[in-house]
Amino acid sequence: MTSTFTDRTAAYKVIGTRPIRHDGVDKVTGRAKYGADINLPGLLHGKVLRSPHAHARIKSIDTSRAESHPDVKAVATSADLAPSPAVGKDVVPGQNTSDNVMARGKVLYRGHAVAAIAAASPDVAEEALSLIDVEYQVLPAVFDVEDAMKPGAPILHEGMKTASEPEAAPNGTNVADHEQYRLGDPEKGFAEADIVLEREYRTKTVHQGYIEPQNGTAWWAPDGQLTVWSSSQGHFGIREQLAKVLGTSVSTIKVVPMEIGGGFGGKLQAYLEPVAAVLSKKSGRPVKMTMSRIEVLEATGPTCGSYVRVKIGVTNDGRITGAQAYFAFEAGAFPGSPVGGAAAAIFAPYNIANVQLDGYDVVDNKPRTGAYRAPGAPIAALAVETLVDEIAERLGMDPIEFRLLNAAREGDRRADGVMNDRIGAVEVLEAVKSHPHYSAPLNGKNRGRGVALGFCRNNSGMSSVVVNVLADGKVSLVEGSVDIGGSRTVIAQHVAEVLGIPIEDVIPQVADTEMVGFTSITGGSGVAFKTGWTAYEAARDVAGQMVRRASRIWEVPEDQVEFQDGAVQHTTDPELRMTFKELAGMLGGTGGPIVGRASLNPPGSVGSYTANIVDLEVDPETGKVDLLRYTAFQDVGRAIHPSYVEGQIQGGTAQGIGWALTEEYVMSDDGHMMNSSFLDYRMPTSLDLPMIEPVIVEVPNPNHPFGVKGVGEANICPPLPAIANALYDAIGVRFHRLPMSPEAVVRALHEKNGG
């Protein structure tokens, strides 16, 4: 792999290095335990009966035949879950996770869970599902955001009102919310423009495509204590959802995090864990449940389909004077599409004085939308960056120069109201402009080059870390952030840097919900920021205690002892010095163990900016797009572990390529997903991808001890518009719909040529 990375970490010994990940041996040898690896005494297996209809009223559920079967040990329906809150002024349908865990009154998408069975084997459980008799009244359904907003569309939730406009639809609506942001005077901005362009864009539902299916094992003991093992992006979040769905307290639930085979935002919701818990309580035995791939695609949370309309005004010298965006996102069966993420991202790369955003959260008869890497931001980037490219061409300006002229800087206000801190949009653009790829010749017929920017706001959250000093001079690091992309090692690097010890002497582990304080989800590109900072403070706590212990041993005042370079030493007497390891070996006889602790909810996370250059070639006969060269740039703040940063950049780019070119939910007229397997749901493989060259740009975050910014999400945004812009450069057609599949390319060429 070729990577462009300028080392600016000379002041550090561990930060910026590339140690081997602590869990690497476990992962490559098969010793690591994932959710489906759990096997407990007397284990039962659970299976879910799912709706064959996209929208139907449940008239009755008869489980008597299943309950009388000798091999069936338990049956569950929504009646076994805590009741949902009543729909009213302050509560919208779907606010309680139980509505999605098990259908209550109506099924709202094909694959919606209706009932579940536990038996001694998964085959018996699945076969016994046919013994549950469900009577449905099939209702009209709607599968597209634009159709769902039309007058007369089938209403999913009777009585639902738009949260921000409760009087707008007295007879119910599918528009769950309308968010509006306004900065300056957009009409004034358009009046000052010499050119005003407006375009519409549409995208399809796509899935995160993680390798490991959802799973959950539950053991509800006779004493009322529930233990759950699952692969999720936040076991504390799963605990909170379980408490709500089951109507119990968090203190009665322990969630044990297993290793996770990918998530990308799709493993934040509890799907099987509450059902397994109910089946365990009713059977008195532990119950394990695992989804099939079809279930994953039909019944978990993909990202939304969308309709977007963007309008931008510019002067003849290239200054953006005004902008406006309207975007309507599918939430699926229950409210919660990523409207806020889109609002944060849609014009974030640019400084625009006059702007208005209108975002609509719309329900339809598809699975409830889940998070997917930079939720909302890739769709926003597609619309704005393709239109920006078109404007630059209209003005005769270099596309990077146009972006630099209008680039957002520190102190500028985003369209969603946030004031920019130390951001790296300009530095990323300058890295693109100076990179050899940008000026390299591109020869050949039907070849094109495209560029685009991307942005994702990065999050923080609560985090807890404990650092235990061991007698041999090593330390154990106990954290609560689920490790998806190597965060164990990254957090350990924070500790090693502060304590001045080798990274190999830090032993990290992700603890269950009873072993460490509350820690928010692994998502929002926030783990290195929040848990890294918390680990930094816990390590400083250790260093402070080591100083106090040394002062006691030497019988000198604390202010005459300092911790530096992995040792305690007297400030003036060079004879009084002990290494970390030496002092660690003396703790038992000098006061007892040293344990460092920290719990934070740190502010100051800063958004990430990223950019792509892509070269491609189009086969005009088949519409196949071959990616010839790909360079991906990202401001990462400070690269704690450059290899993991490069992997995040490459992984996000690869997913963006799939979203741009091949991926979509293909739906039948009755709401059946027609491509619900990895054979038919077309994600790119190694044969489809070029070598993606990552370029790390470091603009340190002044709000973090080591300058960290999130790196996991922004990289998925620019591939969508960069490929669209490259396709235009290659064949002279602007694409406003995704995916830009071979069929779509051939159709566009046919229309261009007058067919």
Q: Is the pLDDT of residue 311 over 90?
A: yes
List, for residues 320-331, the tens digit of each pLDDT value.
Answer: 999 999 999 999
pLDDT category of residue 2 using cuts at 50, 70 and 90: very low
Q: Is the pLDDT of residue 96 over 70?
A: no
Over residues 65-89, the mean pLDDT reads 86
For the chain, the average pLDDT equals 95
Bridge partner residues of 693 (DSSP): 631
Over residues 553-565, the mean pLDDT reads 97
Q: Which tokens belong to 353? A: 């004085």
Q: Is the pLDDT of residue 8 over 60?
A: no
pLDDT category of residue 90 using cuts at 50, 70 and 90: very low
Q: Which tokens belong to 752? A: 């261009």
Over residues 223-239, the mean pLDDT reads 98
List, for residues 349-362, the tens digit of each pLDDT value.
Answer: 999 999 999 999 99
Buried b (16+ CB within 10 A) or exposed e, 182-210: ebbebeebbebbeebeebebbbbbbbbbb
pLDDT category of residue 165 using cuts at 50, 70 and 90: confident
Handedness of CA 99, 103, 106, 109 (dihedral sign): positive
Q: Residue 455 in contact with residue 342, Cβ under 8 Å?
A: no
Query: How far is 451 from 732, CA to CA, in rounded Å?
Result: 15
pLDDT score for 159: 86
Q: Comparing 9-23, 410-424, 659-673, which segment has the lowest mean pLDDT?
A: 9-23
Return the amino acid letter for 697. V
Closest CA to 50 of 335, 369, 280, 271: 271
Q: Residue 364 in contact with residue 332, Cβ under 8 Å?
A: yes
pLDDT category of residue 7 using cuts at 50, 70 and 90: very low
pLDDT score for 169: 75
Q: Residue 326 in contact with residue 318, Cβ under 8 Å?
A: no
List, for residues 176-218, the tens digit of each pLDDT value.
Answer: 999 999 999 999 999 999 999 999 999 999 999 999 999 999 9
Quote the pTM value: 0.96
Q: Which tokens belong to 270? A: 């509890």
Closest CA to 473 of 604, 562, 587: 587
pLDDT category of residue 168 using cuts at 50, 70 and 90: confident
pLDDT score for 87: 45
Query: How far is 158 from 170, CA to CA, in rounded Å?
Result: 10
Over residues 647-675, the mean pLDDT reads 98
Q: Residue 425 in contact with residue 431, Cβ under 8 Å?
A: no
List, for residues 491-519, the tens digit of each pLDDT value.
Answer: 999 999 999 999 999 999 999 999 999 99
pLDDT category of residue 167 using cuts at 50, 70 and 90: confident
Over residues 322-348, the mean pLDDT reads 97
pLDDT score for 1: 39
pLDDT score for 91: 46
pLDDT category of residue 164 using cuts at 50, 70 and 90: confident
* For the chain, percent of residues with pLDDT exceeding 90: 94
Q: Is the pLDDT of residue 4 over 90?
A: no
pLDDT score for 171: 78
Q: Is the pLDDT of residue 88 over 60?
A: no
pLDDT score for 3: 47
**Ordered DSSP codes for 679-745:** TTS----TTT---EEEEEE----TTSTT-----SSGGGSTHHHHHHHHHHHHHS----BS---HHHH
Over residues 5-18, the mean pLDDT reads 75
pLDDT score for 10: 59
* For the chain, percent of residues with pLDDT exceeding 70: 97
Q: Comparing 95-109, 364-378, 507-521, 668-682, which segment has the lowest mean pLDDT?
A: 95-109
Q: Report residue 505: phi and psi, to 5°.
A: -90, 5
Q: Is the pLDDT of residue 755 over 80?
A: no
Q: Is the pLDDT of residue 274 over 50?
A: yes
- The number of CA neighbours under 13 Å toward the Cβ of 436 is 3
